Chains A and B, each alone.
Chain A
């Protein structure tokens, strides 16, 4: 498949005319999705998809076109559209297709052969097993809204008229369930999941116990009193915040005057024990990749080094415009032009487990889930406010559950208010890993 996609991409790039730069991304994906409900298959999806994205730069003008097909006539039409679109761009001296930068890519094993050997019957059985396990775990579990097994193998190739030629293949799978618990009066929901590169690495027991615990421990939850308090963010919640902080460190945000960290390079923006890294070469990261969206080698970038801001993430365009080098941080899918941003974020973990953190905090709140982050965070000003649920911490132990509250602060303050980082690093099906963190002085609104 890699060779096939390279050949298709090369066939388009070879049509480049004088004065024009061409970049072609060709992708192929194979996916299975099993959803079970009450011991039966609710739906089974088997799908193959393909796509091509063509970007043209001519005299500093950029144009883009894509199609969900690799048919020859479609490729020709897409190339013509991209050319036509380029003629409307504003000339920009920094606009260009990336040049090879000489950075060797790290070879990563991202496709486990066992993934494609896993039979459909086994996928179905695994999902049914997960659902059964959750239903049997606690009498207060009244149902499992959905239980899924999903796997995919994605192949992509990128070829440019500037000499980049690269293909890669990545595979992954996960199981996930959403549970319903009731004590006869109150209903709560919880989720559990496990991600990996091979079906054997998926942890049904953990997914099941998480789904059960998250739902049952919230039963009877009430609003909390309003006030400032110390909170612990669960790994999954921390990961969501890291994603937002990562986006503020995009070279694109910086270039366009939308980064709240502009002019802060080298400043102390977090406590000295905090180091934030974007490392897509870490094979354990769910979004690990050998190359970025422009075909340059992906690399490890330290964004906050012992509390000090250590630079921004660049693609080749933002780097040229700001007099920097690309950090291999072009982010895109085949149907978009490259942006700049994080690929695989992680905080360097600390020494304490979450239960030790709870003990240390003494009085506060464990935030198990947040809602409305997409609407409640302004990544330009840094203001945020999110719906939250979790458990009170009293005398160093988890106490009564709380719901229908909001937590608010600014991203800048929250970073500085981090007191401790836990040791419970968790890989998640997103661009950030999670870890428990303790944050001081968060405004909680409830009653």
Chain B
């Protein structure tokens, strides 16, 4: 993307006013999407974003500037702007010899998105619309979306790191509205992988469309969700977001360092039921949060965060690990060249258990079974979190019975981790997600086997 000697000159310029560390992050991203809605191909959109972000660290201060101008002049202006914010009086450092970081990509791309005729992308949407509408006259609206992106990044820093990655992602989603006597209900399904159009060799779009439509239809008969604290069984694959919120964010070193996490100072302590082993793994082949190198040039890693209930380690980016004199865990990510990297999750999941999932349900006399969770949110300082149920049922006398309407579940991370009393042997990854933190979104994956939490508060309207 840029010549190595140009990058060295930019790094040296960035360090001139006394910074200890400088980094150039170059990004060239092309994306395309197609939207089918209201029985029409509504539009195709193509996008291009290309530029560089430069940061300089001196002491506790980071200076940052970005530019869409990748000429030497443009980069030098940005380097000086980033350096100007760091008011260090120290002697200027030099860039170490740049050495290429070689990291195998967990994602083998066969068909790059730009090589696929737009017509094929559009046809997937038309097909999904037809299948969804054929599920019943009550399906009154269907919207389907195809999106792909190819993001080439290059990271070089004054420690001598020189790395690049070519990240492809393909995503498909469908959302249906069903209308009945009780009003309207929605059902959604999505699939995404960090690969090209070959995604659709394995994924049956018809099946996704059918599931989304059936979900909306089922909810037409749903009764209001109960309210209050009760046992909650979360289905395999559908509930990884629980751990993303309940403890994932609280294990991010930037929040821990500011004492803004309930897990601060707890490494080595038991923080969860011994059934819980929590892993964040950026190397998980073909999973939504996987990549070869993170946005700081560090190879992706598999990190065990909690092992049999004991907190093993936090997740780290370059800045935070540098202060602690340890290595980054490959969790330094950013939405684009416009922003600084932060500690972010990749694919976060609970390792498989040993119990037959059916036994877990039979062993639950009354409660709620959640087949699919929606998005969530956590306050890492208190551990309180919420997430939405997008498909859920009542459990009565050990059986899954009637569907219930949407609602939120609320709990406290440290408490919930200790209240997991059954873990299934049916591990699966969930739907592709976008994790938001400080206004930045990055693709993440999550997964879990079926599990039971002895008590979560269900926020329905029924007494």
Contact surface of A with B, Cβ cutoff 8 Å: 37-38, 40-50, 62-69, 74, 77-78, 81-82, 84-86, 88-90, 92, 120, 142-143, 145-146, 180, 187-189, 223, 226-228, 255-258, 260, 335-337, 371-372, 374-376, 378, 380-383, 385-387, 389, 403-410, 443, 445-447
Contact = CB atoms under 8 A, between A and B. Distances in A.
B14 to A, nearest CB: 13
Given A67-B47, A374-B375, A40 B459 contact: no
B308 interface: no
B430 to A, nearest CB: 14
Given A258-B184, A381-B186, A383-B407, A375 B48 contact: no
Given A256-B141, A386-B459, A406-B227, A180 B260 contact: yes
A50 B132 CA distance: 40
B49 interface: yes
A49 B259 contact: no
Nearest to A84: B118
B222 to A, nearest CB: 10
A81 B49 CA distance: 14
Interface residues of B, number: 78
Interface in B249-285: 255, 258-260, 262
B384 interface: yes
A226 B460 CA distance: 11
A69 B228 contact: no
15 contacts: A38-B60, A43-B61, A44-B61, A46-B82, A84-B118, A188-B381, A258-B177, A371-B379, A371-B385, A372-B375, A376-B408, A403-B382, A405-B410, A406-B410, A443-B460
Contacts, number: 259
Contact of A88 (B38, B44, B81, B338): B44
Interface string B391-419: 00000000000000111101110000000
B49 A68 contact: yes
Interface of B: 34, 37-38, 40-51, 59-68, 81-82, 84-86, 118-119, 122, 140-141, 143, 177, 179, 183-186, 225, 227-229, 255, 258-260, 262, 338, 340, 374-377, 379, 381-382, 384-388, 405-408, 410-412, 457-461, 463
A51 B63 CA distance: 24
A161 B366 CA distance: 64
Contacts of A69: 48, 50-51, 68
Given A85-B118, A380-B185, A381-B184, A387 B377 contact: yes
Given A68-B50, A143-B259, A381 B60 contact: no
Given A46-B65, A383-B405, A445 B48 contact: no
B46 A65 contact: yes
A445 B377 contact: no
A334 B375 CA distance: 27
Binding site secondary structure of chain B = strand
A77 B50 CA distance: 14
Contacts of B412: 404
Contact of A260 (B183, B386, B459): B183
B114 to A, nearest CB: 11
Given A44-B86, A404-B412, 17 more contacts: A46-B84, A47-B65, A65-B45, A65-B46, A67-B48, A84-B118, A88-B122, A226-B463, A256-B143, A386-B459, A387-B377, A404-B410, A405-B410, A406-B457, A406-B458, A408-B408, A445-B460
A287 to B, nearest CB: 17
Contacts of B227: 226, 406, 408, 443, 445
Contact of B141 (A38, A45, A48, A257): A257
A228 B460 CA distance: 11
A153 to B, nearest CB: 16
A-B CB proximity, top 7 nearest = A406-B459, A375-B388, A387-B386, A372-B386, A44-B85, A445-B227, A85-B44
